[in-house]
Chains A and B, each alone.
Chain A
Amino acid sequence: MSTQEEVEVTTGHRAASVQPIANPGQHHSAGITVMPLRPSVALPPQERRATREFTRADIMTLIGAMVSGMAVTMLLFGTLTPLEGQPGFFVVFFLAFLVIYTVLVSLTENRPAVVDRVMTVLLGCAGIIAMIALASVIIFTVAKGWSALWKPNFYTHDMSQAGPLDPLTVGGITHAIAGTLIMTLIALIITVPLGLACAVFLNETGGKAAGLVRTVVTAMTALPSILAGLFIFATWILILGFERSGLAASIAMSIMMLPIIIRSADVVLRLVPGNLREASSALGAPHWRTVWHVVLPTARSGLTTAVILGVARGIGETAPVLLTAGFTSTMNLNPLKNPMVSLPLAAFEFVRSPQPALIARGFATAAFLMFLVLVLFSLARMVGGRPAGRLSKRQAKRAAVHSRKDLARFEASHGEVIA
């Protein structure tokens, strides 16, 4: 009985359900829970260990390596060797920093840890370089265009009144904004129904033919954008004899956007869970109702993302428009007649001139275009970014309201059976 008392003492209230091991050979057949005997001596209270990755020594090592790397580089460039040049300075500084950091870490750590630290620093540097590059692109573009971006006439005038030497207070890019909007709209009217229908064909109804279409579409995503322009230039303009117009540019843009939209829509539709389709079919819905009421709504956010990504590519592309739209500095709202200009093409043509005012306009146009594309992309992220079938809060609320309405409808027609 002494063992039982001990168990009761060490395990507290749980001991009530635990029986002591009277006979070690029997405890399997008895089917009882066995609690280990804990030492009755209390362990000293342990301090909570810090689990963070970088200790103060690590950070100091990093800073120290940077400082001494800088010192070594300055010494090399100023006095000891004939090295020169700003870019070389950075290269040598980076190398010196790496070597010194490796040596410093290897004073205290073993080989795997040294490799780990050095690689971590290298990967971090890659990330920093990428971010600096992005920042420099955005900041430089906005800074160069700043003077034009803050003139209200930049958004309300076209360039018909402004000569190349005119200051920034005259002329603007309304014609390019209108051109971009019109071309994109026409391209959307062509690509969205066709692209989505083709994606449905690939996933829902295609059968064997879908494989061929999918292969061709995949191949066409590799089409260099300028070839789409060249194709329209050779057929639409040279052979069929139409003039350069917004419509021609829209068709070229459509040819470029169509494979992109189809491919991403195809991927999204493939992610729609099969049991949703089967449930719909089991309820007796014809195929088109299954697609229209189940598959497409489920994939709605992904499909929107696909379209927006295609549009963002199309809007930013210069090459097809360069060949097919012509160039104009006046407002033209008719896509069928006369040249039309888009934002990237306007930016491209502006900076070809040596006039500082025109170059500033070119950068402002590029910044505006970038802003437009960023808005589109954040829209895409807001709408999409969720896997198919997962609803946002508002969608879930709407679905709940809908289903409550359905319940009321069922009850009205079938009495209280369902409730």
Chain B
Amino acid sequence: MAGLNVETSTTTTIDRSDDTSPAPTPREIVTRSGTSDRIFHGGAALSGMAVLAIMGAVGLFLTIQAMQALRATGFSFLTTTEWQPDRGQFGIASVLLGTVLIAFVAVLIALPISMGTALFITEISPPWLRSYLVALVDLMAAVPSVVYGLWGLFFLQGNIVGLSRWMNAYMGWLPFFSVTGAEPHSPLSSTSVYTASTFIAGVVVAMMVMPIQCVVMREVFSQVPPGEREGAYALGSTRWGMIRVVALPFGRGGIIGGTMLGLGRALGETIAVVLIISPRFDINWHVLEAGGNSVSALIALRYNEASGFGLSALMAAGLALFALTIVVNFTASWFVARSRSGASSEA
């Protein structure tokens, strides 16, 4: 013990009271990187700038090209429903409305199913089943959109017109569900008024969007702190009570973020919509009625026959869609990043 005492006394003899040296200034910290590091940093910066340039070029080029068409029409671009660029009569009122309607139907159908599935996987399913369900949902998110399109065209369309007709028959008093020229109660009437509708395209897009939303939500729900979960149970909560007061508030950012992410995908979906829908250019709120449109379907169908000016008009439409999806995506990542579950669940 004595030795230790001596040692501590010697270490404390540094006495600053009679220090005559000038007051110490903080040392300058310089990082001198070698040649190899300078090359590395330069290369990394170069690739970063290259990506920035490519992405910037895409955005800028689309904007510049679209300006030609936008200048020609001005504000009426937003209000015109027709699409005849060669006659100067074109606008995105109907196609953008069609896009939003399809995406809206899709999210409306997909949201309860994806949320229910996510909660079922994280909270209810027995552990041995859970990993299989997770794999299945991931798998569903991986199925190419053309497969959903084919399924929708050849399988869903034939089976769902019955539901369309049923909804029209019993809920037709709602303005959305009314169909012009349909006689839902007559058993002999043709179902062709219900085919190729916004509703059917929306259901197909919902199939595509649902797993995307589900993946994000499941990720968030699986991060619910076990302490809070068990705390709710310990206070006597039922499982649904726990979900309502712990899991849902915790995962709110993920639910909103995942929904918006799905919405972004739904807005941009091309091929499934092209396969299903029969294009029409008027403001059509009746989702069950045959015919609808979307911006990406318009581009896919018209790009080939378009003149220079027509192409510019298509780009203007594409740009409007892009602006919409950017807003949706940024809102999504804002919500996800702001939530308690944090940025790690960003998809």
A residues within 8 Å of B by Cβ? 83-88, 91, 112-113, 115-116, 119-120, 122-127, 129-131, 133-134, 136-138, 140-141, 144, 193-195, 197-198, 200-202, 204-206, 209-210, 212-213, 216-228, 230-231, 233-235, 238, 255, 258-259, 262, 267, 271, 286-288, 291, 312, 315-319, 322-323, 344, 347-348, 351, 359, 362-363, 366-367, 369-370, 373-374, 376-377, 381
Contacting residues, chain B, for A209 (C-beta < 8 A): 45, 48-49
Bound-state CA distance A347–B149 (Å) is 10
B292 at the interface (CB under 8 A from A): no
The residues in B between 209 and 254 inclusive whose CB is less than 8 angstroms from any CB of A are 210-211, 214, 238-241, 243
Q: Taking CB as reference atom, which chain B residue is nearest A322? A: B300
Given contacts A137-B140, A224-B295, A258-B51, 9 further A-B contacts (CB under 8 A): A84-B187, A206-B44, A209-B49, A213-B49, A224-B267, A224-B270, A227-B299, A234-B61, A318-B145
- In this complex, what residue of A is CB-closest to B304? A323
* A271 surroundings in chain B (CB, below 8 A): 344
Query: B36 at the A/B interface (Cβ < 8 Å)?
Result: yes
**Would you give 13 A-B contacts (Cβ < 8 Å), ordered by A?**
A122-B116, A193-B47, A198-B50, A200-B47, A217-B55, A220-B58, A222-B328, A230-B299, A230-B314, A238-B308, A258-B54, A323-B303, A374-B142
Least CB distance from A364 to B in Å reads: 11
| Complex Cα gap A291–B36 (Å) | 12
Query: Judging by beta carbons under 8 Å apart, are B146 and A120 in contact?
Result: no
Find out whether the CB atom of B113 lies under 8 angstroms from the CB atom of A86: no
Residue of B nearest to A373 (CB): B142
Instruction: Indicate the member of B120, B144, B300 with the most A CB atoms within 10 Å.
Output: B144
Within the complex, the shortest CB–CB distance from A116 to chain B, in Å, comes to 4
**Residues of chain A contacted by B34 (CB below 8 angstroms):** 286
Q: Which residues of the partner chain A approach B116 to less than 8 Å between Cβ atoms?
A: 122-123, 125-127, 130
On whether the beta carbons of B146 and A366 are closer than 8 Å, the reply is yes
Residues B55 and A133 in contact, CB atoms below 8 Å apart = no
* A218-B333 contact, Cβ under 8 Å, with A136-B151, A225-B268, A316-B145: yes
Determine the main DSSP class of A at the interface with B: helix
Q: Answer yes or no: B136 CB below 8 A from chain A CBs.
A: yes
Identify the 5 closest CB pairs spanning chains A and B, nearest first.
Answer: A126-B116, A316-B144, A224-B268, A87-B163, A197-B47
Q: Does B100 contact A (CB under 8 A)?
A: no
A126 CA to B211 CA in the complex, in Å? 12
Tell whether, in the assembled complex, residue B299 and residue A226 are in contact, meaning their CB atoms are under 8 Å apart: yes
From residue 28 to 47 of chain B, which have CB atoms closer than 8 A to chain A?
Answer: 33-34, 36-37, 39-41, 43-45, 47
How far in angstroms is the closest Cβ of chain B from A139? 10
Residues A287 and B37 in contact, CB atoms below 8 Å apart: yes
A143's nearest neighbour on chain B, judged by CB, is B155
On whether A130 and B163 interact (CB within 8 A), knowing A112-B238, A231-B61, the answer reads no
Q: Distance in Å from the Cβ of A374 to the closest Cβ of chain B? A: 6
The 8 Å CB contact of A222, one of B150, B264, B271, is: B264
Q: Is the CB of A120 within 8 A of B41?
A: no
Q: Which residues of chain B come closer than 8 Å to A200, judged between CB atoms?
A: 44, 47
Given contacts A205-B41, A286-B34, A344-B146, are A319 and B270 in contact (CB under 8 A)? yes
Verify A120–B52 contact, CB threshold 8 A. Answer: no
User: Looking at B45, B114, B137, which has the most chain A CB atoms within 10 Å of its CB?
Assistant: B45
Instruction: Evaluate contact between A134 and B140: CB separation under 8 angstroms.
Output: yes
Interfacial residues, chain B to chain A (CB-CB below 8 A): 33-34, 36-37, 39-41, 43-45, 47-52, 54-56, 58-59, 61-62, 65, 112-117, 119-121, 123-125, 133, 135-140, 142-151, 153-155, 159-160, 162-163, 165-166, 169-170, 187, 207, 210-211, 214, 238-241, 243, 264, 267-271, 275, 295-296, 299-300, 303, 308, 311, 314-315, 318, 321-322, 325-326, 328-330, 333, 344, 346
Chain B residues, Cβ within 8 Å of A206: 44-45, 48
List residues of chain A with CB within 8 A of the CB of B49: 209, 213
CB-CB under 8 A for A227 and B136, given A137-B143, A141-B151, A204-B44:
no
Contact A136 B142 (CB under 8 A): no
How far, in angstroms, from A106 to B346 measured CA to CA in the complex?
A: 41
Judge whether A126 and B117 touch: CB under 8 Å: yes
A223 to B325 alpha-carbon distance, docked (Å): 7
| A296 → B minimal CB distance (Å) | 12
Cβ-defined contact, B321 with A227, below 8 A: yes
The answer, among A130, A213, A363, for a CB contact under 8 Å with B52, is: A213
Q: Which residues of B have CB within 8 Å of A374?
A: 139, 142
**Nearest Cβ on chain B to A365's Cβ, whole angstroms:** 9
> What distance in Å separates the Cβ of B343 from its nearest Cβ neighbour in chain A?
8
| Chain B residues within an 8 Å CB radius of A193 | 47
Query: Is B48 a contact of A87 with CB atoms below 8 Å?
Result: no
Q: A381 touching B138 by the CB < 8 A rule? A: yes
Q: How far is the CB of B138 from chain A (nearest CB, A)?
A: 7
Contact B268 A197 (CB under 8 A): no
Q: Are B151 and A140 in contact (CB under 8 A)?
A: yes
B33 contacts A286, CB within 8 Å? yes
- Give Cα distance in the complex from A218 to B343, angstroms: 13
B275-A348 in contact (CB<8A): yes
What residue in chain A is nearest B58 (Cβ atoms)? A231
A197-B44, A226-B268, A234-B311 known; A134-B139 Cβ under 8 A: yes
Q: Are A216 and B322 in contact (CB under 8 A)?
A: no
Taking a contact as CB atoms under 8 Å apart, the answer to whether A222 and B44 are in contact is no
Question: By the criterion CB–CB under 8 Å, are A87 and B275 in contact?
Answer: no
Contact at B48–A202, with CB atoms within 8 Å?
A: yes
Specify which of A85, A219, A344, A381 is in contact with B165 (CB 8 Å cutoff): A85
CA distance A226 to B119 in the complex (A): 34
Instruction: With both chains docked as a complex, state the minimum distance between the C-beta of B52 and any C-beta of chain A, in angstroms.
Output: 5
